[in-house]
């Protein structure tokens, strides 16, 4: 070997042409999809909001009061203090998303469940639950005894004594259930106070739990207590502003309480990021200032189709009077039904398949089939719902229950698959550690696997719900009406949904006005709801990873 | 299933099992360490244990007796079945679908592979520390209390948690952050946390599978000191790849060689000074393995 030949005068070049071409092709593929989607959304939003119909002065005013300060503050934060900017964006996001949820919840509390029904339902469940937990803490009963006690307590709480067993026992009703007891109290507190006790307080408990992770116990309690006072003030002061106390309570509990807590806890625990709060200040202050300014200066805003009237009225023959209210309510009710049905079933199946099922041919067959079911067209699920729930079980067609059950079947495979993914991502070392300590399977699932995978499970479920909220075909199949003029009163009344209403506007009522204005407006509302749900999912995923 | 039967407190054992109770009473008498060298009781006894993963044999006819309150080291080249043997003792092999165990393995004269043995109850009496530190994503306190909690031990855990952390030589470092996450500790601290977690329910045997292999020399020597202390109260069985470590800390040494055979088992001094076969000598002196 001629070692003396080893002298080198440079390393030469390695060709990267193919790699470069490939890289830009990938970039182009990514961009085409995203850009197409953005253009489509802008197009639709332009039709729905019609920004060009506003006075130029309107645009100028908001440009000066809102856009310039926001860009200035945002730019400053983004270049100087990234984490402060994140706090600012987080505050805005929290306020916007919670406002949307508050809107949906207000709709339910105003038009579907009144405060007494709600309070009675909460107490019916809370009283026996508290009793069972107390018994379990105090005395050392076996799980079976506890289960028996729980069954009896829930029965009494739901139906009273002797309840439906009256005919068997042969006596009259001796004790009412908790629900009817609440409803029969002669003097009830005013409705917002009931709501405060049974809705705001549970929200406060959750909020305090999160505050607790940033500040110490005492501060967290103090912050939440101040928030509760604020809710009470909002509820009592609301009528002077022309808002009834019930939606005011809901709005304050869902928006004010969490946002205030988020702002104060971050300000206390991350002093360096406090400047970030200037961003929401600029955005909300600027909007307010702009609104006052355009009103005093007399500039007209855009003739947007997505406005209060659109959100709060029902369908009408005149496109200009048409609204989405019953469809929004229907979608919310469907969503709740779907969540209640698909979450326990899906997560349960996922836990079974991941942690309990033996690895054999049968489970592998089930595996493959769940993946297949996730890809079955939604029309087929509609047909299934029609065949099973309407034809076979004789349910009336097109109700909230039937629609919710059908959509729940539709997203069940997705919930199962994403929950399994989350459960599988729990490191095996943790399972080993738990089993090695002598934990049973159930203890391992309860103490290690579920806490660790819960946010992933929740994220997957929310994303799946997002799929359900946009579905039209299954609802048509089960006979949901295209147009409803009022909200469904309960689970067995007919329901319409946002995508269905939009579809009806674009087909049955397709006058140019409907087609060009109402449909885009409906799409904007639908997509906003979807995006806010997805943003919750994304926040959950980032927070707990 | 007696799966949820908790042990009441330190020293006593599952009252449903008479054999075990009698055994423990005898051994509970206080003896100095020197005396015990002469008269030790066997805690773990393997008789002709064979383990297969599907059709591949991982352990070949292992028989040995592990004495009480001693450190017994298992050494041998990678893949010779040390971890497999350790998992036989607390039946963690049950969790591996492919694994099949034959033969008898006694813990205090009770065959742990008898039909009436509940593996979950067994694992509550045999602590295990793994190669990579694996604390739960919970607070330090909850980590240490985990064993007590799942066994349904009543009352206040504060004392036991403190005691266990002290024994694991971790108390001084973490006493002010008991309620912070166990994952915020350094690797060496996490491993000591895992040891504290393993000893908190007061097991009879502690199995350690290369507990120091992911740690730096300082953390390793802390763990080694700790193991020596633990042997005053517990029977420790440790797998290690580090010959010096085995020589330093163990009383007995078992040498496994490829093929899952136990080729040498005896007092550590003997094994390292006069290995009975050339293969063992070659392994110990680093000529292969
Ligand atoms: N879960 C398993 N499935 C199939 N085979 C396994 C499994 N675990 C171990 N084995 C096999 O059993 C044999 C012994 O493995 P074991 O893990 O007990 O070795 P070890 O002595 O602990 O090695 P190391 O020092 O590398 O940890 C190896 O051949 C390995 O391939
Ligand atoms: Mg090993």
* B147-183: burial string, b at 16+ Cβ within 10 Å, e else: bbbbbebeeebeebbbbbbebbbbbeebeeebeeebe
Regions of chain A short of the pLDDT cut 70? 1-5, 544-545
Of B127, B138, B150, the CB nearest to A443: B150
Please tell me the predicted confidence (pLDDT) of residue A545: 59
Q: Collect all residues of chain B within an 8 Å Cβ-Cβ radius of residue A447.
A: 136, 146, 149-150
Domain co-membership, A330 together with A449: yes
pLDDT at position A497 is: 92
Distance from the alpha carbon of residue A450 to the mean position of ligand 1, in angstroms = 29
Query: DSSP secondary-structure letter at B126?
Result: E
Chain A CB contacts of B146 below 8 Å: 434, 437, 439, 447
Tell me: do A295 and A317 sit in the same domain.
Answer: no
* Burial classification of residue A232, based on how many CB atoms lie within 10 Å of its CB (0-12 exposed, 13-18 middle, 19 or more buried): middle
- Give the domain range for residue B229: 42-136+204-285
- The answer as to whether B161 is a domain residue is no
In a domain, B130, yes or no: yes
- Residue ending a domain, among A299, A322, A354, is A299
In sequence order, what are the residues at sequence separation of 6 or more whose Cβ sits closer than 8 angstroms to the Cβ of residue A62? A286, A287, A290, A294
Strands (E), chain B: 42-53, 56-67, 71-75, 99-107, 110-111, 126-129, 205-209, 235-239, 252-257, 261-267
Please, are residues B256 and B85 in contact by the beta-carbon 8 Å criterion? Answer: yes
User: Which residue has its alpha carbon closest to ligand 1 atom 5?
Assistant: B53
Instruction: Give, to the nearest 10 degrees, the angle between helix B158-167 and helix B140-150.
Output: 110
Position B24 confidence tier, pLDDT thresholds 50, 70, 90? very low
Q: Are residues A268 and A323 in the same domain?
A: no
> Quick check: is A291 in a domain?
yes
Burial of A153 (0-12, 13-18, 19+ CB in 10 A): middle
Residues with CB under 6 A from ligand 1: B 53, 58, 76, 78-84, 96, 98
Q: What are A501-522's pLDDT values in tens digits?
A: 999 888 887 788 888 888 889 9
Confidence of residue B288 (pLDDT cuts 50, 70, 90): low
Together in a domain, A328 and A379:
yes
CATH code of the domain covering residue B80: 3.40.50.300
Does residue A72 lie within any of the structural domains? no
A25 and A88 part of one domain: no
CB atoms within 10 A of CB B196: 29
Q: pLDDT at residue B126 above 90?
A: yes
Q: Is residue B189 part of a domain?
A: no
Both tokens of A241, joined, read 């502003």
Number of domains, chain B: 1
Whether A62 is in a domain gets the answer no
Q: Which residues of B touch A427 (CB under 8 A)?
A: 134
User: pLDDT for B42-59, tens place per residue?
Assistant: 899 999 999 999 999 999
Nearest to B124 among A430, A433, A438 (CB): A438
The CA distance from B289 to the nearest CA of chain A, in Å, is: 27
The pLDDT, as a whole number, for residue A168 is: 76
Chain A residues with CB under 8 Å of B122 CB are 438
The model's pLDDT over B143-186, given as tens digits with 9 standing for 90+, comes to 999 999 999 888 788 999 999 999 888 999 998 988 888 998 99
Residue B82 Cα to ligand 2 midpoint, Å, equals: 6
Supply the pLDDT for residue A365: 93
Under DSSP, is residue B257 helix (H, G, I), strand (E, B) or coil? strand
CA geometry: angle at B229 spanning B31 and B141, to 5°?
120
Using CA positions, which residue lies closest to atom 4 of ligand 1? B53
Residue A348 shares a structural domain with residue A317: yes
Q: For residue A544, give how far its alpha carbon lies from the nearest alpha carbon of chain B (Å).
A: 11
CA A182/CA A195 separation, integer angstroms: 13
Mean predicted lDDT score pLDDT of chain B: 83
What tokens appear for B195 in the block? 């040891």
pLDDT of residue B5: 41
Residue B242: the pLDDT is 87
Question: Which domain CATH number covers A509?
Answer: 1.10.3720.10
Better pLDDT: B154 or B265: B265
If one counts the domains in chain A, the total is: 3
Residue B127 is assigned to a structural domain of this protein: yes
* pLDDT of the residue at B277: 81
Strand-pair partners of B256: B262
Global pTM reads 0.83
Asked if A254 and A152 sit in the same domain, the reply is: yes
Adjacent-strand bridge partners of A494: A399
Question: What is the atom index within ligand 1 of the atom nearest the CA of B131?
Answer: 27
Residue B3: pLDDT over 70: no
Shortest-distance Cα residue to atom 2 of ligand 1: B53
User: Can you give the residue range of the structural domain that contains A86?
Assistant: 82-299
* Higher pLDDT among residues B92 and A191, named by residue: B92
Q: Domain check: are A156 and A260 in the same one? A: yes
DSSP string, B129-142: E-SS----SSBHHH
Asked if the model's pLDDT at residue B14 lies above 60, the reply is no
Q: Which of B50, B74, B80 to mutate to test the pocket of ligand 1 (most atoms within 8 A of CB)?
A: B80
């Amino acid at each position: 070997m001629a070692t003396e030949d080893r002298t080198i005068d440079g390393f030469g070049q390695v060709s990267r042409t193919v790699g470069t071409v490939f890289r830009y092709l990938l970039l182009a593929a990514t961009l085409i999809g995203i850009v197409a989607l953005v253009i489509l959304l802008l197009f639709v939003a332009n039709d729905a909001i019609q920004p060009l119909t506003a006075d130029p002065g309107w645009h100028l005013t908001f440009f000066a009061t809102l856009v310039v300060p926001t860009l200035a503050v945002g730019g400053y934060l983004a270049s100087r203090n990234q984490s402060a900017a994140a706090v600012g964006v987080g505050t805005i996001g929290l306020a916007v998303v919670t406002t949307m949820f508050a809107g949906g919840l207000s709709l339910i509390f105003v038009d579907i469940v009144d405060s007494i029904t709600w309070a009675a339902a909460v107490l019916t469940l809370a009283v026996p639950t508290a009793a069972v937990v107390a018994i379990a803490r105090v005395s050392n009963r076996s799980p079976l005894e506890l289960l028996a006690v729980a069954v009896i307590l829930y029965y009494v709480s739901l139906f009273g004594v002797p309840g439906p067993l009256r005919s068997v026992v042969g006596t009259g009703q001796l004790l009412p259930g908790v629900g009817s007891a609440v409803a029969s109290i002669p003097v009830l507190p005013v409705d917002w106070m009931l709501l405060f006790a049974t809705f705001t307080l549970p929200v406060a408990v959750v909020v305090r739990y999160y505050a607790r992770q940033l500040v110490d116990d005492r501060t967290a309690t103090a912050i939440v207590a101040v928030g509760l006072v604020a809710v009470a003030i909002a509820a009592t002061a609301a009528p002077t502003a022309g808002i009834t106390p019930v939606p005011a309570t809901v709005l304050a509990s869902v928006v004010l309480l969490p946002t205030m807590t988020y702002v104060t806890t971050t300000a206390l625990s991350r002093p360096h990021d406090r400047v970030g709060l200037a961003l929401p200040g600029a955005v909300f202050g600027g909007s307010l200032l702009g609104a006052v300014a355009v009103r005093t200066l007399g500039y007209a805003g855009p003739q947007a189709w997505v406005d209060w009237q659109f959100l709060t009225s029902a369908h009408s023959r005149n496109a200009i009077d048409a609204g989405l209210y019953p469809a929004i309510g229907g979608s919310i009710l469907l969503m709740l039904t779907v969540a209640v049905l698909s979450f326990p079933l899906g997560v349960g199946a996922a836990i079974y398949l991941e942690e309990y099922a033996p690895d054999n041919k049968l489970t592998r067959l089930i595996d493959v089939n769940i993946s297949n079911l996730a890809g079955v067209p939604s029309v087929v699920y509609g047909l299934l719902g029609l065949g099973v729930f309407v034809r076979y079980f004789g349910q009336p067609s097109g109700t909230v229950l039937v629609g919710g059950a059908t959509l729940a079947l539709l997203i069940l495979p997705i919930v199962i698959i994403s929950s399994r993914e989350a459960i599988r991502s729990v490191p095996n070392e943790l399972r080993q550690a738990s089993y090695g300590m002598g934990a049973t399977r159930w203890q391992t699932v309860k103490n290690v696997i579920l806490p660790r995978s819960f946010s992933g499970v929740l994220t997957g479920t929310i994303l799946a719900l997002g799929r359900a909220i946009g579905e039209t075909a299954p609802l048509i199949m089960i006979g949901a009406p295209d147009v409803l003029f009022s909200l469904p009163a309960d689970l067995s009344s007919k329901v319409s949904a946002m995508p269905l209403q939009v579809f009806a506007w674009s087909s049955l009522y397709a006058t140019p006005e409907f087609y060009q204005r109402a449909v885009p407006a409906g799409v904007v509302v639908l997509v906003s709801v979807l995006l806010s749900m997805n943003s919750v999912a994304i926040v959950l995923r980032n927070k707990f990873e | 299933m007696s799966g949820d039967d908790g042990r009441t407190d330190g020293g006593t054992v599952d009252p449903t099992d008479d054999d075990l109770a009698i055994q423990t009473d005898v051994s509970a008498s206080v003896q100095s360490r020197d005396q015990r060298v002469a008269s030790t009781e066997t805690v773990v006894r393997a008789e002709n244990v064979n383990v297969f993963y599907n059709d591949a044999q991982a352990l070949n006819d292992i028989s040995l007796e592990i004495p009480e309150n001693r450190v017994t080291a298992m050494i041998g080249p990678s893949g010779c079945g040390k971890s497999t043997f350790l998992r036989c003792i607390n039946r963690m092999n049950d969790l591996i679908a492919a694994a099949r165990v034959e033969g008898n393995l006694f813990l205090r004269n009770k065959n742990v592979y008898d039909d009436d043995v509940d593996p979950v109850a067994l694992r509550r009496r045999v602590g295990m520390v793994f190669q990579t530190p694996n604390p739960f994503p919970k607070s330090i306190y909850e980590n240490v209390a985990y064993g007590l909690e799942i066994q349904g031990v009543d009352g206040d855990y504060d004392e036991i948690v403190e005691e266990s952390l002290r024994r694991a030589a971790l108390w001084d470092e973490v006493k002010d952050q008991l309620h912070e996450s166990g994952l915020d500790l350094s690797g060496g601290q996490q491993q000591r946390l895992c040891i504290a977690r393993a000893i908190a329910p007061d097991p009879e045997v502690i199995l350690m599978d290369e507990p120091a292999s992911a740690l730096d020399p300082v953390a390793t020597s802390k763990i080694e000191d700790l193991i020596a202390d633990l042997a005053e109260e517990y029977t420790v069985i440790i797998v290690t790849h580090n010959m010096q470590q085995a020589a330093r800390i163990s009383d007995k040494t078992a040498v496994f060689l490829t093929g899952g055979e136990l080729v040498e088992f005896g007092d550590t001094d003997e094994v390292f000074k006069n290995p009975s076969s050339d293969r063992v000598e070659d392994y110990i002196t680093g000529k292969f393995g």
